[in-house]
Amino acid sequence: MVDAWPVSLPQKFLVDGFSEQLGDGVLEYAPDAGPTLTRRRSTAAPRPLSGNMEMTSAQLAALKTFYEVTIINGSLPFTLPDPLGGADLLVKFQKGGQPKWSALGGDYFTVVLVLWILP
């Protein structure tokens, strides 16, 4: 069973910094002569998703526990509410895309998440 994004954490990304795009399911290679050749690699390509969330220090601590313990340092997929209002998405942190945060002031932080939407 796949774990879900904790309800104690924000359920939506901030508008500023939100980004989603189509997956790259194409393979391109260069033969010895002539133009590059392109073909479909897969019909199920992961799609990049990234964005910022505003969190308190308590929420940031909960995110760290979720990341390090529940999804084993980001190695396991989890469900996340669809930022566009659809059904929950199956996502996974991108390699090298560990959550990062910066202080906003007071007890608030901006947290950057870089994810893959899995097919």
Could you tell me the pLDDT band of residue 1, with boundaries at 50, 70 and 90?
A: confident
- Residue 99 CA to residue 82 CA, distance in Å, equals 18
Please report the pLDDT score of residue 24 as a whole number.
81
- Residue 40 CA to residue 24 CA, distance in Å, equals 9
- Contact criterion met (CB below 8 Å) for 82 and 13: no
pTM of the model: 0.83
14-117, what's its fold?
Elongation Factor Tu (Ef-tu); domain 3 (2.40.30)
* % of the chain beyond a pLDDT of 70: 100
- Residue 113 CA to residue 98 CA, distance in Å, equals 7
Mean pLDDT of 63-80: 97
HSE of 58, CA atoms in CB hemisphere, 13 A: 1
| Neighbouring C-beta atoms of residue 53, cutoff 10 Å | 22
Mean pLDDT of 87-94: 96
Amino acid code (one letter) for 118: L
Please report the pLDDT score of residue 109 as a whole number.
97
Please report the pLDDT score of residue 40 as a whole number.
78
Please report the pLDDT score of residue 29 as a whole number.
82
Tokens found for residue 100 = 């990062």
Model pLDDT for residues 8-63, shown as the tens digit of each residue: 999 999 999 899 888 887 788 888 888 988 877 777 889 999 999 999 999 999 99
